[in-house]
C-alpha cells in the first residue's frame, strides 16, 4: 500500500510551493489503489511556532479538497500525528544509535562552535563540525552527563567514500561523505532536529513515498545514512522541481504571490489554484489542462514529473481560473464577487442590480477581485473621449448616428432589451451597420471603443447618465 504524508510546520500561512508539494503528495497516494494520504504536524521548531497556524493548515487543505486519511484530528493507528506529542520516541532512538556506535554525545559550547564557524568563514570554506567530542572516552562522557553538562547527540558520518540514493525524478544522486556533517539528531533542549524526526516518524508511520522540493536533494544522503544506521528500508524519494517566477526569482510575500491566501484574497478559486499548481512541474498526456481533483487522481503519474524548474505564470493561472469561473452558476459567481465590492465600499446596491453587474463582466474577469476595477471603470471614471476613440469619431456620419441613437434612447423604457432594439433601429434609420453603427453608439456612451455587452452596460449606467454623456 502506498502511504504518503504532508508534514508542514505550523509557522503561518501555507506557501504556494508547499501547497504544490501537498497536492503531489496527495495525488501519489490517491492515484494508487487503497493509497493513504497522511497529515503530520511538525512543530518541534518552537522558535518558529505560530499560534493558530495548525488551524490554517487544516482549513487550507480542506478548502483545496486535500482530505487526509490519518492525522491529528481524524486519528489513525500510527498516531499521535503531532511531533511534539512524540518526544519520548525521538530520545529513545537517538540513544539507541549512541549504543550502536552510530552516534555520540557532543558537549561543545556555543563559543567553541562559533569559533569554528569563524575559522571556516575566514578560509571561505563550508562549516563542518570537526568531530571533537567523538574522541571522548566513556568515562569522560559519563562524568559530563552526571555533572549535568548540556549536550546534543550527533550522528557519526563516514569520512570517506560517498552516499547515494535513488530519486524517482532525478535518478541516482551521490554526495561525497566528507561533505556531510555529523548532523545533530537531538538538540540540547531535548527536541529532535527536523531531519531526525522526519526519519523516525516516516519509518514508524510506514511512509512509502517521501515527496519534497529538490532543495533537499543534497541533504537526503543524511536520511540515507540514518536509515542504514537503524537497518531500516528507505522510502521512495520524489523530489519536485523549484517553482520560480518568469524572471527566475522566487515567489515572494512582498509581491503577494507567495501564499495560498494571497490568491484567495485576490479572488482566485481554490479548485483553479489546485488545478494550476498540479501542472507546475507535471504534465498530463494530451493537451487537456482543466482537471478536477478527482480527475487528477485517476491520471497522475510520478513518471510525468519534470526535472526543470516550474515557472509560475500568472497569465496561465488567470486562464485556468477564468475557465472555472465561467462554469459557475450566476448566483454562486455573484456571491463570490459581492464581498470584494463591499470591501471597496460598494455596498448600497440591491442584489438584482449587482447580479446584472457581475454577470456582465463574468467572461472578462481573471479573478473575482477584478469586479471592483470594472465597476470603477464603468461608474467612477470621468467620462471623456480621447485617443483612438476620438479619432474614430471624426469619421463622416458618426454625428448623425449618435444623434439618431440619442433620440431613440430618449423615448424608451430603460432596459437592455429596449436599448438593443434602439441600436438596431438606429442602424436602419442612419443607413449604417457593423462598426459604423456599434462604434459610435459605444464611444458616445462609454468613451471607449471596446467593452462588455453595450445594452446591458448602458442599462446599469442609467438613462439620465447616458443622455447627459451624449
Q: How would you classify the pairing of strands 171-176 and 36-39?
A: unpaired
CATH superfamily of 86-240: HUPs (3.40.50.620)
Q: What is the pLDDT of residue 380?
A: 85
Crossing angle of helices 194-204 and 87-99, rounded to 10°: 100
What is the torsional sign of CA 275, 281, 284, 286?
A: positive
Using CA atoms, how far apart are residues 371 and 366, in angstroms rounded to an integer? 9
Question: Which of the residues are catalytic?
Answer: 253
* Partner residues linked to 350 by β-bridges: none
- pTM for the whole thing? 0.91
Q: What is the pLDDT of residue 256?
A: 64
Cα 83 vs. chain centroid, distance in angstroms? 24
What residue spans in the chain does CATH classification 1.10.10.350 cover?
387-469
For the chain, the residue count is 470
Contact residues for 269 (Cβ-Cβ < 8 A; gap 6+): 321, 324, 325, 336
Q: What is the pLDDT of residue 146?
A: 96
Supply 296's cell numbers: 487528477
Using CA atoms, how far apart are residues 263 and 256, in angstroms rounded to an integer? 8
Q: How would you classify the pairing of strands 152-155 and 184-186?
A: antiparallel
Q: Are 192 and 85 in contact (CB under 8 A)?
A: no
**Of residues 269, 260, 265, 219, the one with CA closest to residue 239:** 219
Burial class of residue 289, CB neighbours in 10 A (0-12, 13-18, 19+): middle
Q: What Å distances lie between residue 63 and 56, 225, 260, 261, 332, CA to CA?
A: 10, 38, 11, 11, 16
Q: What is the pLDDT of residue 49?
A: 85
Using CA atoms, how far apart are residues 28 and 2, in angstroms rounded to an integer? 8
Helix (H, G, I), strand (E, B) or coil at 49: coil
Q: What is the CATH number of domain 387-469?
A: 1.10.10.350
Contact residues for 110 (Cβ-Cβ < 8 A; gap 6+): none
Q: What are phi and psi of 82, to 5 degrees?
A: -120, 125
Q: How many CA atoms lie within 13 A of 149 on its CB side?
A: 17
**Of residues 171, 201, 197, the one with CA closest to residue 184:** 197
Q: How would you classify the pairing of strands 171-176 and 162-167?
A: antiparallel
Q: CB neighbours (10 Å) of residue 303?
A: 8
Q: How would you classify the pairing of strands 236-240 and 209-213?
A: parallel
What residue spans in the chain does CATH classification 3.40.50.620 cover?
86-240
Sequential pLDDT tens for the chain (470 residues): 999 999 999 999 999 999 999 999 999 999 999 999 999 999 988 788 899 999 999 999 999 999 999 999 999 999 999 999 999 999 999 999 999 999 999 999 999 999 999 999 998 888 999 999 999 999 999 999 999 999 999 999 998 999 999 999 999 999 999 999 999 999 999 999 999 999 999 999 999 999 999 999 999 999 999 999 999 999 999 999 999 888 777 777 666 668 999 999 999 999 999 999 999 999 999 999 999 999 999 999 999 999 999 999 999 999 999 999 999 999 999 999 999 999 999 877 789 999 999 999 999 999 999 999 999 988 888 899 999 999 999 999 999 999 999 999 999 999 999 999 999 999 999 999 999 999 999 999 999 999 999 999 999 999 999 999 99
Q: What is the pLDDT of residue 246?
A: 81
Which one-letter DSSP state was computed for residue 108?
A: -
Using CA atoms, how far apart are residues 407 and 441, in angstroms rounded to an integer? 12
Q: What is the pLDDT of residue 190?
A: 92
Cis amide leading into 80 (omega within 30):
yes
Amino acid at each position: 500500500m502506498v502511504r504518503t504524508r504532508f508534514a508542514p510546520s505550523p509557522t503561518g500561512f501555507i506557501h504556494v510551493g508547499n501547497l504544490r508539494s501537498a497536492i503531489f503528495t496527495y495525488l501519489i497516494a490517491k492515484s494508487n489503489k487503497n493509497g493513504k494520504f497522511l497529515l503530520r504536524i511538525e512543530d518541534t521548531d518552537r522558535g518558529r511556532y505560530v499560534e493558530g497556524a495548525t488551524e490554517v493548515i487544516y482549513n487550507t487543505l480542506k478548502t483545496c479538497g486535500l482530505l487526509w486519511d490519518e492525522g491529528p484530528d481524524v486519528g489513525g493507528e500510527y498516531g499521535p500525528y503531532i511531533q511534539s506529542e512524540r518526544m519520548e520516541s525521538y530520545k529513545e532512538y537517538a540513544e539507541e544509535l549512541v549504543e550502536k556506535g552510530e552516534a555520540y554525545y557532543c558537549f561543545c559550547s556555543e563559543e567553541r562552535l562559533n569559533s569554528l564557524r569563524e575559522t571556516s568563514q575566514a578560509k571561505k570554506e563550508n562549516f563542518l563540525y570537526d568531530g571533537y567530542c567523538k574522541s571522548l572516552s566513556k568515562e569522560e562522557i559519563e562524568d559530563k552527563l552526571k555533572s549535568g553538562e548540556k549536550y546534543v547527540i550527533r550522528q557519526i558520518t563516514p569520512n570517506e567514500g560517498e552516499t547515494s540514493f535513488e530519486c524517482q525524478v532525478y535518478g541516482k544522486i551521490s554526495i561525497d561523505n566528507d561533505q556531510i556533517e555529523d548532523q545533530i539528531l537531538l538538540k540540547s533542549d531535548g527536541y529532535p532536529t527536523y531531519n531526525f524526526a522526519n526519519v523516525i516518524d516516516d519509518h514508524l508511520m510506514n511512509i512509502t513515498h517521501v515527496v519534497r522540493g529538490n532543495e533537499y536533494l543534497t541533504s537526503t544522503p543524511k536520511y540515507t545514512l540514518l536509515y542504514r544506521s537503524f537497518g531500516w528500508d528507505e522510502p521512495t524519494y520524489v523530489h519536485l522541481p523549484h517553482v520560480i517566477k518568469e524572471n527566475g526569482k522566487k515567489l515572494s510575500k512582498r509581491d503577494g504571490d507567495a501564499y495560498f491566501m494571497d490568491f484567495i484574497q485576490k479572488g482566485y478559486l481554490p479548485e483553479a489554484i489546485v488545478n494550476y499548481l498540479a501542472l507546475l512541474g507535471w504534465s498530463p498526456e494530451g493537451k487537456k489542462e482543466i482537471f478536477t481533483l478527482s480527475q487528477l487522481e485517476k491520471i497522475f503519474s510520478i513518471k510525468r514529473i519534470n526535472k526543470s524548474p516550474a515557472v509560475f505564470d500568472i497569465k496561465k493561472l488567470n486562464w485556468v481560473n477564468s475557465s472555472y469561473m465561467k462554469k459557475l452558476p450566476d448566483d454562486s459567481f455573484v456571491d463570490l464577487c459581492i464581498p470584494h465590492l463591499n470591501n471597496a465600499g460598494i455596498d448600497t446596491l440591491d442584489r438584482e442590480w449587482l447580479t446584472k453587474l457581475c454577470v456582465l463582466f463574468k467572461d472578462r474577469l481573471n479573478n473575482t477581485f477584478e469586479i471592483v476595477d470594472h465597476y470603477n471603470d464603468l461608474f467612477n471614471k470621468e467620462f471623456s473621449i480621447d485617443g483612438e476613440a476620438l479619432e474614430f469619431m471624426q469619421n463622416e456620419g458618426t454625428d448623425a448616428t449618435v444623434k439618431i441613437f440619442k433620440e431613440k434612447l430618449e423615448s424608451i423604457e430603460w432596459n437592455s432589451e429596449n436599448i438593443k432594439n434602439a441600436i438596431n433601429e438606429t442602424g436602419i434609420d442612419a443607413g449604417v451597420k457593423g462598426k459604423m453603427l456599434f462604434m459610435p453608439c459605444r464611444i458616445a456612451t462609454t468613451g471607449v471603443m471596446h467593452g462588455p455587452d453595450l445594452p446591458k452596460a448602458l442599462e446599469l449606467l442609467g438613462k439620465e447618465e447616458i443622455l447627459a454623456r451624449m
